Amino acid sequence: MSVTEYSREVPSGLTVHAAGHRTNYYDNGEGPPLVLLHGSGPGVSAYSNWHSVTPLLASNFRTIAPDIAGYGLTEFRADGHYDIKLWAAHLLAVLDALEVDRAVLVGNSFGGALAIATAVFAPERVAGLVLLGTPAGEFPMTPGLRSGWYYEPSPENMRAILREFPFDPGIVTDEMVAARYALSARPGAQEAFRRLVPEPSGADGGTVRGAGAGFLAKVAAPTLIVHGREDRVVPLEAGLFAGRHIPGADMHVFGRCGHWVQLERPEAFARQVTLFAGGLG
């Protein structure tokens, strides 16, 4: 099936070629650039992570939300070797193609890990970081993370996975399920996803290893960490770990909030980002 066959559920954006990948991205607003980096999981995309909060940010910033290489409507290459270096190179190539010299990177979960790596590998390109529910340090594999690897595409299974993520599962709408399911059901999509992330290990899923203290200490950019107090996917302790080890980090914890701060608390999240990014000069 072609990308356009999914456009009713997941509208396609603009296209740019970056690091050998035909890349889908959304570009809205004017002003200092914010690059919005989505998380991981079956059927994930920039659209599903960011479309509802983009209007709140695009009134003050140019918001650029790419589908990361191998995800969403961006090309997955069967011969590709996907790791953090490839994803960082792809992100930098997207910025080059769009003539963005420096930007604030706003990363949700896996997108936050990519933002951290980019800030270390190419500090001259990163004006600041906003990290949402980002893995850092080590913590036990959670059911929400584990479920994605074993997911078999169906609307019912997708709804069950998505309800693991927010504090109030009522925010999981039929539209959200349809958008994520449409991408996850493409032929080969789940097999591709399993190549992008490691398989959980052991009966309990093993240990998740995010950026360690030494790597986080290399982040020179000003950083705002936001985390849901009730995040069951990436626990609050991971955010606290990052906050202790990134030299220029401040932190805001959202109560009655799970893994999707930008979806669960969009107005308050947009205010925090606007205050932070607007103050960087």
Strands 126-132 and 62-66: unpaired
Q: Which tokens is 3 given? A: 């990308």
Cβ(61)–Cβ(94) under 8 Å?
no
Residue 261 phi, psi (nearest 5): -55, -40
From 38, 90, 227, 259, active-site residue: 259
Contact between residue 250 and residue 232 where contact means Cβ atoms under 8 Å apart: no
Residue in 114, 162, 133 with CA at minimum distance from that of residue 253: 133
Residue that the structure tokens 């996975």 belong to: 161
Catalytic residue flag (residue 109) = yes
Is-catalytic flag, 259? Answer: yes
Please say whether the beta carbons of 256 and 153 come within 8 A: no
Query: What's the CA gap between 281 and 266, in Å, rounded?
Result: 24
Active site residue 90: no
Q: Which residues pair with 24 in a beta bridge?
A: 15
Annotated catalytic residue, options 109, 147, 184, 245: 109
Q: Just list the catalytic residues.
A: 109, 231, 259
